[in-house]
Amino acid sequence: MQFSKPKWGTIAQWGGVVAFLIILSTDLRTPVLGGMQRALLATGLWQPTLPPAQTPVQPTGGTYPHNLPLLTLDGKPANLRDLQGKVVLVNLWASWCPPCVAEMPGLQKLYNQVDKQKVAFVMISLDQNPEKARRLMARKGYTFPAYFPAGALPPAFDSEAIPTTLIVGPDGRIAARHEGMADYNTPEFKQALEKLAGSARL
């Protein structure tokens, strides 16, 4: 019986499979897949299309409708209702989530451009180990405000998918919701935030 010599193409394919499996089983998984997904975002195909939320929260009697207790990265208490009067971009993420990691550079660039007096960011880490979220923020040099939930997320903000991004209007109405990664650093999205912020009575 004779055996044929292995073809280099086949060897390269199996080598790629082995390398991919190694990446998936190590700490390289998130940065490598996140980098691949950042490249996809750069194509412009993942522009955020933010339809109106299916169940918008209606404020009653002028009272801000959201009580969302949070903790800052250094453990200080905060609450979403403290941001009443501003447009708030709420993003649910985790350090182990490649799509979350992929969209973060665009969110940071958008954060650098918005008027902080009218637009606030609330980046909520769902990491079970808070230290992993802190390390990611420090390593990447992100300056947008990041928090941890201080309890169960209210139904209006809970999601089975991450990343999930919600846009909360100045009066507390949830103006939009998007599940999945997107490139938010676009002139159109920034203009939409500014338009919504313009409705605030500051």
**Strand arrangement, sheet containing 174-179:** 77-79, 69-72, 146-149, 119-125, 87-93, 164-168, 174-179
How do the domains of the chain map onto residue ranges?
A: 8-202
- Architecture per CATH, domain 8-202, reads as 3-Layer(aba) Sandwich (3.40)
Q: Which residues pair with 92 in a beta bridge?
A: 124, 164
| Separation between Cα atoms, residue 29 and residue 140, nearest integer Å | 17
Does the pLDDT at position 50 exceed 50? no
Cβ–Cβ under 8 Å, residues 73 and 147: yes
| Separation between Cα atoms, residue 30 and residue 134, nearest integer Å | 16
Closest CA to 172 of 63, 61, 94: 63
Closest CA to 83 of 144, 3, 159, 172: 172
Taking only the tens place, the pLDDT of each residue in 1-11 is 444 454 555 55
Does the pLDDT at position 21 exceed 60? no
| pLDDT for the residue numbered 201 | 47
| pLDDT for the residue numbered 17 | 47
Mean per-residue pLDDT, 147-170: 94
What is the token pair recorded at 87?
Answer: 């447009």
Does the pLDDT at position 58 exceed 90? no
| pLDDT for the residue numbered 110 | 97
| pLDDT for the residue numbered 1 | 45
